[in-house]
Every structure is written in structure tokens, then in C-alpha cells.
Amino acid sequence: MRRGLLFIVSAPSGTGKTTLVAQLVKTVPELVVSRSYTSRPPRSGEADGVDYNFVDDDRFMALVDAGGLLEWATVFGCRYGTGREETERHRRAGRDVVLVIDVEGARQVREHCPDAIAIFVLPPSFHVLEQRLRRRSGGDVGEPQIRRRLDTARREVAAAEDYAYLVVNDHVDRCVAQLRSIVMAERARTPVVDDAVTGIVAAFRAQDEQG
Ligand code: ADP
Ligand code: 5GP
């Protein structure tokens, strides 16, 4: 069995990466989204062990000290990180894993796992990003928080060219189809293909030797 691939998806907050990745993993077999640890409190409608593993700051830092996180970063004043063991377990079982993480976390993963496939999702424009942030918050999030996310977005997009793939989230279905194409193409790379495919090559070689 081949080892699972590691995909990174980054995008400015409000671009739609959570929406896209949720749809992507529904339609692609053997692809899972990693559930991060965070020290931020759950928002209404979020559940521990579903959206995130919600932990307090002490537990988060204990995980960091124990080397339990593959990467971690502080985003909008809270800590977020990817569990090393969970990611490894999926990959050992042959499942491809998607990490939905910020640009700092992505930089750390690329440093330690040069094979990771990094995808940056862009909003169609700055203006559309602002609209999506406002619509999602439904007026619950104050103007300073929206401004902070937009300022951060400017810095994050500056890192976009460090990613292997750039996709634009204009329409969810189109963008999910493009992400699916990337996953499928990466799965068909010669060093990655599974035993069934290398078995076909070996069977042809055996024919050749007989003949
Ligand atoms: P992120 O995870 O990047 O912060 P979300 O997935 O929470 O973003 O999406 C932000 C908001 O934008 C949500 O209200 C979502 O429904 C909406 N959204 C996502 N993709 C699109 C799209 N292609 N067109 C219009 N609205 C979108
Ligand atoms: P939110 O609080 O809106 O769920 O997430 C805020 C940001 O944290 C997201 O834009 C996402 O990129 C980032 N994030 C979520 N999980 C992780 C993680 O495990 N590691 C890192 N580095 N960033 C994360």
C-alpha cells in the first residue's frame, strides 16, 4: 500500500477553504481533512472533536513541548496546530490528508515534509473577500475583526507564490472540481501510484521476459 500524500490548503480567512475542503473530501475516496488543535473557544455551532480539538492554552503548549504537533502557529491571537500522530496514522493507512492551515504553518510543514503538496486558494478579489467575511459573520463580528482579517489577507496573499498550485474560489463547484483534479493528478505521479498500477507494469515486464 502506498503512503498517503500530504496536501496543504491555505487561504485568507473568509475565502471559502473550509467550505471547499468539506465538499472535496466528500467526493474523493481515501482523502481526509485533518482536525486541528486550537486554543480558541468554540463558536456557536462548533463541537469539540468535530470542527477542532478545542484545548486550553496549557494543554496546547504541553502538546508543543511533547513534540506532538507537526506545525503550529498563532492566528488572530489564538494557537492552532496539526497533530503529528493523527496525520501519521492516516498516511500509514494509505489515506491522503488535507491540512487546512495558515501560511506560517504551511511554511513549517514544507520545511519538514518537502513532498507536501501546497495549494493556495485565492478569493476572486479583495472586495469579494470583504463581502464573504461580512456575510459569514452575519454582523456578529465587529469592524475591527473584519479589518484585521483583511490586513492579514494582504500579507498572506504575498506568500501565495510559494505554493505549488493557485486556485481561485469563484464558484464552489468549479473550484472543488479543480481541487479534485489536483488530487487525482498527484495520485497518478509515477513514484506515488499504488501497487495495482505498478503491478500492471510488472506483469508487462514478465510477459516481455517470457517472450
Ligand atoms: P474560510 O474557511 O476560508 O474562512 P468559509 O468556508 O467559512 O471560509 O467561507 C466564508 C464564507 O464565504 C461562508 O459564508 C461561505 O458560505 C462563503 N463562500 C465560500 N465559497 C464561496 C463561493 N465560491 N461563492 C460565494 N460564497 C462562498
Ligand atoms: P478559524 O478560527 O476561522 O477556524 O481559523 C482561523 C485560521 O486558522 C484559518 O484561516 C486557518 O488557516 C488557520 N488554522 C486552522 N487550523 C490550523 C492549524 O492546525 N495550523 C495552522 N498553522 N493554522 C490553522
Position in ligand 2 atom list of the atom nearest CA 76: 6
Determine the distance separating the centroid of ligand 2 and the alpha carbon of 102, expressed in angstroms. Answer: 6
Residue located nearest, by CA, to atom 2 of ligand 2: 40
What does the alpha-carbon distance between residue 211 and residue 193 come to, in Å, rounded to a whole number? 27
124: helix, strand or coil:
coil
pLDDT in tens, the chain (211 residues): 899 999 999 999 999 999 999 999 999 999 999 999 999 999 888 999 999 999 999 999 999 999 999 999 999 999 999 999 999 999 999 999 999 999 999 999 999 999 999 999 999 999 999 999 999 876 667 889 999 999 999 999 999 999 999 999 999 999 999 999 999 999 999 989 988 999 999 999 999 888 7
Task: Give, using CA atoms, the residue closest to atom 10 of ligand 2.
Answer: 13
d(CA 136, CA 123): 14
Atom of ligand 2 nearest to the CA of 102: 12
Select from 80, 98, 156 the residue to mutate for testing ligand 2; criterion: most ligand atoms less than 8 Å from CB.
80
> Coil, strand or helix: which one is 190?
coil
Specify whether the CB–CB gap between 44 and 156 falls below 8 A. Answer: no
The pTM for the full model equals 0.95
Contact 101, 71 (CB under 8 A): yes
pLDDT of residue 80: 98
Query: Are 63 and 69 spatial neighbours (Cβ–Cβ below 8 Å)?
Result: yes
Q: In what order do the strands lie in the sheet with 37-38?
A: 53-54, 37-38, 78-83, 69-75
DSSP-assigned letter for residue 140: -
**Is 86 in contact with 34 (CB distance < 8 Å)?**
yes
Residues with CB under 6 A from ligand 1: 11, 13-19, 132, 135-136, 169, 171-172
Residue 166, phi-psi category: left (phi > 0), alpha (psi -120 to 50), beta (remainder) = beta
Q: How far is the CA of 48 from the centre of ligand 1 (A)?
A: 21
Find out whether the beta carbon of 87 lies less than 6 Å from any atom of ligand 2: no
Ligand 2 centroid to residue 109 C-alpha, Å: 14
The predicted pLDDT at position 140 comes to: 66
